[in-house]
Structure 1
């Protein structure tokens, strides 16, 4: 509902469902009947990366936003981020966020460096950008940036750290990134089934950084600078 109630009305809403059997698909179909902006897409693979790539492929808008199934957003999020993106001609705009645990929200900043807010930056002007929050749903991304550079997620099974590869590619290739010190996204961290809570899935992070190394090999101009950063995060 927080997406449907956005103050920015001219949006397309893609809901990717991996053949769920818990009634989720039926709920989404009902929403689809009520709102012509919403489109349900069925994924034949249970892979977060594959489902995200489907969304990137099918999206028709100018910018892409992401909302995870456990989370919700303020109703003015996309209007505000889009306004900033257009005003400053930015490929990426990201805001602060709240971490929700036990129904309590904690304000979290995307960067601890206050002067980096409200200006255009990139990794070439600020290499320490890779030390900032790597959460993708707190921002919007110009679709042309993703498609022109063939930015895709790793399509490993399940939902285990595939968002790291997306974040790394975007920060490596975007020439205009803009942070605003306003929080719109409510990130839930109290789901016991989350990959960040699973000890078994921690090794998937290593697979993800192998995926990032493969990306860097395709971009030798970036590899010398970013390979050490990749190794550090791993």
Structure 2
């Protein structure tokens, strides 16, 4: 049986010290029928030249140069250019183990699934932490099972890069340009489009958390509030598609994330336009929450936040000191 082509999309920006490690790990995959799409997102360093050298040496490598538009935009450009029946993503400061795509592809076929996912290891400056116990267990389920597991942060996760997707589940869904936490806006939609998903409890992806100048390595800032709107969109998506069984869980998570992020802003004295917009969002959501299944405590917290971030922050600080 002929192996299907996997298009591996790598967004690239200011990673010349890490890029070789990343691309080499993709080239060394035991699954060889790859289309390696390197998206140079207007990188000001030597990344563009490095990509071109890889393309000269390996016919599987395609290089796309574009003006800087951010991670989401780069991924979207890669999706549009991809010709494979399957799509995968690797962040350019990370790397993957040799058998990652062989295992995910074989698992997809064995279980007749649309998305296959593996675990990953977190690399910190002073230690390596496995995300899971790496038992080797395989977990399969339909889209609602996977969405609930994602909400519970077990098995299926919202990360873009530890998965192999059938192209059909991606369809016309694209990452939101100019947003942080772009995975939170997008992955659950791919999951919903899948009839079956399968998870393999082995770590094949190496998530490098040691860079302080990366998106994930930077300290909390106002842009991190983008996650709150991602979760709010997910609330609307679940309601629109009639996922009633997960309504309470999704609503509670959205409320918790919003209140947590707002409180971080209060403690760090961040009070820009996104903070103001999020407080207004909370004010509007009070009526919504009253009509939907949610922990009543969150309704009272949203009412308090509606009076302003200072009142909410001070009240929460008092509670936490008790």
TM-score by length of 2: 0.63
Cα distance in 2, alignment partners of residues 41 and 123 from structure 1: 33
Higher relative CO (Cα under 8 Å, sequence separation at least 6) belongs to: 1
Find the counterpart in structure 2 of residue 179 from structure 1. Answer: 199
Find the counterpart in structure 2 of residue 18 from structure 1. Answer: 41
Cα distance in 1, alignment partners of residues 64 and 250 from structure 2: 33
Q: 3-state SS of the aligned residue for 1:90? A: coil
- Give the count of matched residue pairs: 225
Q: Which runs of 4+ in 1 moved over 6 A?
A: none
Mapped pair 1:135 → 2:155: no
* Higher fraction of helix: 2
- Residues 18 and 43 of structure 1 are in contact (CA less than 8 Å); yes or no, is this contact kept in structure 2? yes
Q: Aligned-residue CA RMSD in angstroms?
A: 2.5
Find the counterpart in structure 2 of residue 190 from structure 1. Answer: 210
- Residues 69 and 177 of structure 2 are in contact (CA less than 8 Å); yes or no, is this contact kept in structure 1? no
Residue 127 of structure 1, CA deviation: 5.4
TM-score by length of 1: 0.85
Find the counterpart in structure 1 of residue 224 from structure 2. Answer: 202
Residue 187 of structure 1, CA deviation: 0.4
Q: 3-state SS of the aligned residue for 2:113? A: coil
Aligned pair partner of 2:125 in 102, 110, 118? 102
- Residues 115 and 163 of structure 2 are in contact (CA less than 8 Å); yes or no, is this contact kept in structure 1? yes
Residue 55 of structure 1, CA deviation: 1.4
Cα distance in 2, alignment partners of residues 222 and 55 from structure 1: 32
Change (3 A) 1:224 1:19: same
Residue 29 of structure 1, CA deviation: 0.8
Find the counterpart in structure 2 of residue 63 from structure 1. Answer: 86
Change (3 A) 1:138 1:110: farther
Deviations 1:103-159 (A, max 9, x none): 632211299xx89x4242124346531222322211111111111xx22211125xx
Cα distance in 1, alignment partners of residues 133 and 90 from structure 2: 17
Deviations 1:42-77 (A, max 9, x none): 233422111111111111112111110110010111
* Gaps in structure 2 of 5+ consecutive residues: 1-23, 258-322
Cα distance in 1, alignment partners of residues 235 and 133 from structure 2: 24
* Gaps in structure 1 of 5+ consecutive residues: none
Cα distance in 2, alignment partners of residues 222 and 48 from structure 1: 31
Change (3 A) 1:74 1:99: same
